[in-house]
Structure 1
């Protein structure tokens, strides 16, 4: 059993990651980051998720750095959220420059201050085409840096990096993850829009394995 900081965004992947770590017997702390994203519904869901499994949860407020991310549909307010499948060129509008390096650096700092053995995050193979900071090469480089940044070497765990979202959903159902209490949609409306890339991928993840999708979609 190890002491682990899990990066929990409030979405499906990070929720499954948290349950996966707990199932393995690890002592977990969870961290979420407010980087001035388009909406904070995901942070509310992350908090509720952690409360449900009695995991200490910290929201790191980095909202002041929002202007450095430029014009994109996730941290900006002027660009519309694109709809359609992740494979579309328009999904590159959802890239927040260097986001995972920033989030992971903050998580690694918290892990170091608590003498934790590792930081875990939920990058998966479906993200590779669009998000460079979800690719194995990036994770390997961050793992190498984390092992050098403190007197206590910290590992970067990414158990889903070779899995797709459907496989993650299947694992989450096995673990009893309350997916109805997770938030994926980029738009942050009352319900999941059902049309943005994140919602489309969420729908496909459940359908790929014949799983019941508990999500309340507006469409």
Structure 2
């Protein structure tokens, strides 16, 4: 049984990746990051899920990075979360500069320290238009670096890189997953807003699968 680290945000994509790694027979160690995101509620959800699965889970506080990269609407309360689809230019304000390179670097270090063989994360094709660090060329080059950055080569596994959110959800539903145990909305309120890019894409994925989203919306 191979030991792997899963970068687990608490969102529906990483929730599916987490369960796929478990389904594939891996010894899973979940890793979440508090980077000052307004939707910190996702970390509470992540903790509840991992407790229920009885798998190791660490939440690492890296909020100090906001002294350097504080111009994203995901981390700055002075900037409104944009509404609309990810394809709209306004969604670029949700980019956290270099986020996935930072998170992957930390996860790779963790993987080396516990003797894991791979780091899983949930980039997918729906993110390619807006988030440069979810694109195939980024993943390929990070994978190249990861294999030479330590004495122990670590693979970066991205099982849904060429799939959209509807296809990810379809795979999760086939695994019998309950998506009420996820949080997607960029606004960290009691209920999902239904209007931000994350909510819009999520709702489209459920509609594409002729399934009702179990989350409560405003």
Question: Partner of 1:152: helix, strand, or coil?
Answer: coil
Q: Following superposition of structure 1 onto structure 2, how do residues 1-219 of structure 1 map, counting pairs within 5 Å?
A: 1-218=1-218
CA distance in 1, matches of 2:19, 2:92: 30
CA distance in 2, matches of 1:176, 1:149: 37
**Deviation at residue 112 of structure 1 after TM alignment:** 0.5
CA distance in 1, matches of 2:36, 2:70: 12
CA distance in 2, matches of 1:3, 1:30: 11
The TM-score, its normalising length taken from structure 2, stands at 0.98
Question: Partner of 1:69: helix, strand, or coil?
Answer: coil
**Deviation at residue 84 of structure 1 after TM alignment:** 0.7
CA distance in 1, matches of 2:213, 2:23: 22
CA distance in 2, matches of 1:56, 1:2: 15
Greater alpha carbon shift after TM alignment, 77-86 vs 32-41: 32-41
Superposed CA deviations along residues 156-214 of structure 1, whole A, max 9, x for unmatched, are: 00000000000000111111222101000001010001110100000001111212311
**Deviation at residue 63 of structure 1 after TM alignment:** 0.9
**Deviation at residue 67 of structure 1 after TM alignment:** 2.2
After superposition, the CA RMSD in angstroms is: 0.9
CA contact (8 A) 1:33 1:61 kept: yes
CA distance in 2, matches of 1:141, 1:214: 37
CA contact (8 A) 2:39 2:185 kept: no
**Deviation at residue 40 of structure 1 after TM alignment:** 1.4
Number of aligned pairs?
A: 218
CA contact (8 A) 1:71 1:78 kept: no
